[in-house]
Structure 1
C-alpha cells in the first residue's frame, strides 16, 4: 500500500530545490510565517517549489509594514517538487523569519487538503528508476571535470575551493541532485531535471548544458 505524506507548500517563482541541498529562506508574509512555525511545531515537511502561474498579484508599492502584515502574490504550485524539514527559525524584532529547509526527497502532489491560510497537500514520493550507480560514474567524472575547467576559466582563485575528490566520492545518483548546491540553470531546465526519473538522462543533460557554457 502506497504511503502518503502531508506537506506544507511554499510556492516561490523560479525556485527549484533538489534533494540533498539546503535552501535558506527569508520569510515575511504572515501566512508563510505561520506555515513555518506550525510546521516546526508539528515536525511537518515544507516543500519549496516552482510555480505554475500567478493566481493573484501583490499590491504595488507596498510599505514594509504592509508587506509584513498582509499576504502578497498568490501562486499555483507545480505538482512535482522537493521537500524537507525546517530548522527552528531565527526571528527578527519585526516578526520576519530566517530559516533553512533541509531538502530530503522529491514528491508529487496528489491532493490539496488545506488551502488557507497556506496549502497543505497529500503527496507521494517520486522515485528514480532502478539504475546501477557504477554505470553512472563516467558521467559524474565528466561533470566534475567540466566544473573544474569552468571554475579555472571564470574564477581561477576559487579552483582550490572546489573539492573535486569529495564530489567524486558522492554516490552518482545523489550527486545528480546535490550538485545543485553549486549549479544554477534557468528554472524551467531545473524543473525538467527535477522531474526526470532516469538518473543517466539527468546526468547526461547536466553534462550537455555544461559543455555549452
Structure 2
C-alpha cells in the first residue's frame, strides 16, 4: 500500500542521535552494524530505496523515538574492503511516526504519515525575509566561538535553502536542537531557529535567548 506520490506507508528506521536529514539535502552515512547492513540489503531491493532517519528521545529508557523524522533515498553507496558501506541519503520528505511495526527483521520499521509535509516534495523553499549579510556576520562569530572553518566563498554563493539546511545539518548542536530544526514548519522558521541557536552559542550560553 502506498500514499500519494508513491511514498510507502511503512519504512525502515535508522535511529541516530544528532543526525539530521532535511528534504533535498544529502547526508553521508557509514553502515557497519549487522542489523543496518541487513536493512541496507533490503532497502536496495525496493524501488523507493527509502530509509527513515529519526532521533531517539534523550533520557528515556527504553529509548523512545521522536515523533518526526525525515526519509531519504539511497542515491549512492560503495563497499569498503572491511565490509562497511558508505552511503548517501538524499532527503525526500519529513514524516510523522504513526506506530512501530514488529516483524522478523533485526532493524526497526514503522508506519508513517506524510500528510503534514506535502511541501517537502516540491521545489526548493525560499526565505523572502532572509537578511544574508546579518546572518553571515553572526555565522562568522559562531564559527570563531566554536573553532570551525569553512569555505566562505561557497557559503556566500549558496542558495537560501542550501545554506540554511546545510548549516542546520552540519553545525554541532545538541540532538534536541537538531530536532527543533527538523520540525521547523518553513525554511524561514528554520533560519530563525538556527539564528537563535548560533546567537546562544556566541553568548556562551550565559543568556537565555530561546523564547
C-alpha contact 1:10 1:46 (8 A) present in aligned 2: yes
Say which of 23, 26, 33 aligns to 1:22: 26
Counterparts in 2 of 1:157-172, with a 5 A limit? 158=149, 161-167=152-158, 170-172=159-161
Compute the displacement of 1:87 (Å).
3.5
Q: Higher Cα Rg: structure 1 or 2? A: 1
Partner of 1:137: 130
Decide which of 42, 49, 58 is 2:54's aligned counterpart. Answer: 49
Distance 1:159 1:24, change over 3 A: closer
Q: Deviations over 1:20-78 (max 9, x none)?
A: 332222222222101112112213200122102453xxxxxxxxxxxxxxxxxxx5432
Distance 2:80 2:151 in 1: 36
- Alignment CA distance shift 1:38-1:123 (3 Å): same
| 3-state SS of paired residue (1:136) | coil
Contact 2:50 2:74 in 1 (8 A): yes
From the superposition, tell whether residues 182 and 141 of structure 1 become closer, same or farther in structure 2 (CA, over 3 Å): farther
Give 1:88 deviation, angstroms.
Answer: 4.7
CA RMSD in angstroms comes to 3.1
Alpha-carbon distance, 1:84 to partner: 0.8
**8 Å contact from structure 1 (residues 148, 162) kept in 2:** no
Which aligned pairs between 1:131-210 and structure 2 lie closer than 5 A? Answer: 133=126, 135-138=128-131, 140-151=132-143, 158=149, 161-167=152-158, 170-172=159-161, 175-210=163-198
Unaligned stretches of 5+ in structure 2?
A: 203-211
**Does 1 or 2 have the higher relative contact order (CA < 8 Å, sep 6+)?**
1
- What TM-score do the two structures reach when normalised by structure 2? 0.71
Asked whether 1:124 is paired with 2:113, we answer yes
**How far 1:150 sits from its partner (Å)?**
4.0
SS of 1:37's partner is helix
TM-aligned CA deviation for residue 197 of structure 1: 1.2
Once residues 112 and 187 of structure 2 are traced to their aligned partners in structure 1, the CA distance between those partners, rounded to angstroms, is 22
Write out per-residue CA displacement over residues 79-100 of structure 1, whole angstroms, 9 at most, x where no aligned residue: 2111111135322444332222
Q: Report the number of matched residues.
A: 186
Q: What TM-score does the superposition give when structure 1 sets the normalisation length?
A: 0.70
How far has the Cα of 1:181 moved from its partner? Answer: 4.2
Secondary structure of the structure 2 residue equivalent to 1:24: strand
